[in-house]
Amino acid sequence: MASLRHRALEVCCAVLLVGGAGPARADLVNFDLAGRIYTKYLYRNNDRQGLVSYGNPFWTDNISGDNGVGTEFELKVFGRVSKYVSAYARLQSRFGELWQDWWENGDLNPTGANTSGESLGMNHASYIKLRGTWVRLQIPTPSWWTHTLTWGSSDLGMFNPWTIGKVRYIDRDNGKGIFLNGIVKQGLVSYDLAMIAMPKLWVGPWWSTGIGDPMLSNPFWSRDWAYGARLTVAPDWGSFTLISTLTNDVEVDRTDPDAVGSAYATCQDDLGNPIVGCQKDHAVDTFSRFWNSVTTLEVQADPLSWLSLNGLVVLSMQGIDPKLTADGVQLNQGVSPVVFRSTYGDAFRSADDWAFRLRGEFQTDFGLGVKVEYFHIGQHVNAIFGARREADVLLTEGFIEGGQLPTLNLANEFIDFDEAFVESCIGWHGATVVPSYATSFSGGSLEVTGEGTVLTYNQNAQNRDVDRVYPDFLHSDGFTDTDLYDYANTTDRGRDPRSVFRRNQDRLTGIGVLQVRTTFDAYKGVELALKGKYLWDRDWRSHLTTQDDYLGQQLQVRARLAMGLADGLRGEVGVQYDHWWEKGRKGTLLTDEAGRRVLSVIGYNDDRTRKWKAFLGLTYEYEGLKLGYRLEFLDKYQWRRPVDENQHWLVVRSKATMEVAW
């Protein structure tokens, strides 16, 4: 037996040697693994438990909260199948399990009693999910004309924020489709063609492609696709980029007798009489419930080293079938990501479906630069599949610091208190000037940046139908407090960042910003940054009365000092002061049915808000270990009397992170 085993071993070794004598390639290329562990601590002086400051917009979801610690793990696998074929997969654990959960998975509690803690369900489980895969074929073509075909995941970064936006980082592998990319002559000409499976939970009326729509008994999402095409021609002096996209949400014909839930399943009317022409054929007809098409043409010209010019034209249209989708404006208290009307019929008759942006940048050799921008964004422009955050289409800082996007489909959820919000810029019309100066001096450097913006709004109109057509997102008044945001607005945090429509509006805004940043070569580097911002916002609202007129003024001052403390260790401290004066901040104006006569004016009190914020931050990197910490103290007082009670917040909150990747 011993000799037999020895013989078998020899055969095995021979097979291995022969089998392993193929072409040599680096292991890291053939099969490359990458891992990452991320842990977050979130603590605040309140009693909400969870791991995301602003989680699911449904505030009852207990994933979001301000106290807890949890960990996620991801594993990425890259494979090189052959010379022209590569593959990728990412496995990632679901975030949301607190360390205190131990073995519990979730809080599903069908009986009402839950003596086993939170063992049922999956919403607090760190289960591993397949988050994305792709297989990529580099089509063998001449090297000056490359083609890549991808099946599977993409971050959709080949288009732009106005059309199909690059999806946010946490969604980077969730978008799947078929993608063809072509590049000719190192990018002289390049193009993309894409067919993308639409996300069933956010692209369309009711933030879905049918789910939750009261009009549909059998939402049909598996044939919902978006289509995109991009062509770029890039000569030495600039580029032309044409992008056209279409999202198409398909639903079944509810009158088709073969459809599940059909109104005519038996081909008989309510009296039992046969319906003429109604016949089952085991085939179901489909119609488009909602479609959105956005086309952009962008021209970038860099004729001189000191001059850059950019022009953008956007055409946005949508079609909505009221037989296949219920009116979310009317039935969901004005909270809807779409205007409830088809807009394509107006596309060539008015500017409402168009956006224009012209931008110029001038830069001198001695550090002085100026950026100027004119923009007009029509009130019906809406990129339903556009960028939802982590992008910015305008130069201005706007009302909040996080960026402006041409969609009602913003995603200010699944973020923490230290992350910036984005706001919708639909309907904005104005101009911005941003001068800047940068220089260095002995022992340091200096950067000064300013901003001046004048804004008016293409939505300025009287007696707009916000009951059935235009979503006002319930809260259209007052500066938005992104420091203490709550989705249900239970603490009067101001205007929803998506609220761009108001029943009566006649509004004008001015924004001024000055920022100074200076660095010193002392020790490990010292940085001092100062910011001042003044915002003037006037809305005469209804022309029938002056009692509802609004004037908001916002002053913000911030100082921040950052410095290197040791190798890999950097710290910062800062303080920010905000003061808002708001005349006629919010109230109710009742008019007659025709909107021609005021019946009563309620509220429109003068409010004042004061906020102090002090913060401390530390980051440390050592041998691939990354640590981060932020501590904030926030004191807010809001004077609302006599209409409402005054409010006071004293908040202490912190966030710590630990990350390693290998």
Cβ distance to another protein smaller for residue 288 or 363: 363
Sign of CA dihedral 181, 183, 186, 187: negative
What is the nearest approach in angstroms of another protein to the Cβ of residue 514? 17
Closer to another protein by Cβ: residue 28 or 590:
28
CB of 653 to another protein, least distance (A): 18
* Residue pointed to by tokens 């800082």: 397
Residue number with CB closer to another protein (242 or 508): 242
List strand residue ranges (DSSP E) for 208-254, in order.
225-233, 238-252
Minimum CB–partner distance for residue 277 and another protein (Å): 50
List of E strands, 404-463 = 404-405, 423-424, 428-441, 444-457
Taking the least distance from each CB to another protein, the nearer of 420 and 431 is 420
Taking the complex as a whole, the smallest distance from the CB of residue 623 to another protein amounts, in Å, to 6
Comparison of 107 and 302: residue with beta carbon closer to another protein: 302
- Beta-ladder partners of 194: 179, 228
- Our CB check for another protein shows the closer of 602 and 661 to be 661
Checking phi first, is residue 26 left (phi over 0); if not, alpha (psi -120 to 50) or beta? beta
- Residue placing its CB nearer to another protein in the complex, 10 or 521: 521
Q: Rounded to an integer, what distance in angstroms lies between the CA atom of residue 432 and that of residue 435?
A: 10
Least CB distance from residue 21 to another protein, whole Å?
12
Smaller CB distance to another protein: residue 392 or 423? 392
* Cβ at position 656, least distance to another protein in Å: 13
Give the residue from 641, 635, 579, 637 showing the smallest Cα distance to 605.
641
Chain centroid, CA 286 distance in Å: 30
- Nearest approach, Cβ of 634 to another protein (angstroms)? 21
Q: How would DSSP label each residue in 460-489? A: -BSS--TTTTS---S---S---STT--TT-
* Residue 308 C-beta: closest distance to another protein, Å: 5
Q: Which helix (H) or strand (E) segment is 39 a member of?
A: strand 31-44
| In the complex, least distance from residue 335 CB atom to another protein, rounded to whole angstroms | 28
Q: Which residues have C-beta within 8 Å of that of residue 276, sequence separation ≥ 6?
A: none
Residue in this structure with the two tokens 């707009």, named with its chain if needed: 464
Choice between 49 and 300, CB closer to another protein = 300
Query: CA quadruple 541, 542, 545, 548: dihedral positive or negative?
Result: negative
CB of 158 or CB of 338, closer to another protein: 158
Q: For residues 361 and 272, what is the distance between their CA atoms, to the nearest angstrom?
A: 72
- Supply the minimum distance, in Å, between the C-beta of residue 178 and another protein: 15
Scan for tokens 């978006």, then name that residue.
Answer: 226
List Cβ neighbours of 130 (8 Å cut-off, separation of 6 or more). 89, 90, 91
Look at residues 591, 640, 637 and name the one whose alpha carbon lies nearest to residue 483: 637
SS3 343: coil
Picking from 52, 158, 104, the residue whose alpha carbon sits closest to that of residue 419 is 52
Closest distance of CB 521 from another protein, Å = 6
CA distance 536 to 357: 23
- How near is the Cβ of 430 to another protein at its closest, in Å? 23
Of 339, 350, 337, 342, give the one whose Cα is nearest residue 317.
342
Would you give the end-to-end CA distance of the chain in angstroms? 46
- Residue closer to another protein by CB (options 230, 475) is 230
Residue 230: what residue type?
A: R
Q: Which of 342, 445 has the CB closer to another protein?
A: 445
Which residue lies nearer to another protein by CB, 593 or 623?
A: 623
Note the residues at the interface with another protein (CB under 8 A).
23-26, 28-29, 34, 80, 83-84, 86, 136, 138, 143, 146, 148, 157-158, 181, 183, 186-188, 190, 192, 230, 232, 234, 236, 239, 300, 302, 305-308, 361, 363, 365, 367, 369, 390-392, 420, 438, 440-445, 447, 519, 521, 525, 564, 567-568, 570, 619, 621-624, 628, 661-662
Minimum gap (Å) between residue 363 Cβ and another protein: 4
Alpha-carbon Rg of the chain, whole angstroms? 29
Amino acid, single-letter form, for residue 362: F
Residues 6+ apart with CB under 8 A from 1: none
DSSP assignment of 64-90, as one string?
B-SBEEEEEEEEEEEEE-SSSEEEEEE
Nearer to another protein, 230 or 653 (CB): 230
Q: Which residues of 136-157 are buried (b: 16+ CB within 10 A; e: fewer)?
A: bbeeeeeeeebebbbebbbbbe
User: What's the closest the beta carbon of residue 445 comes to another protein, in angstroms?
Assistant: 4
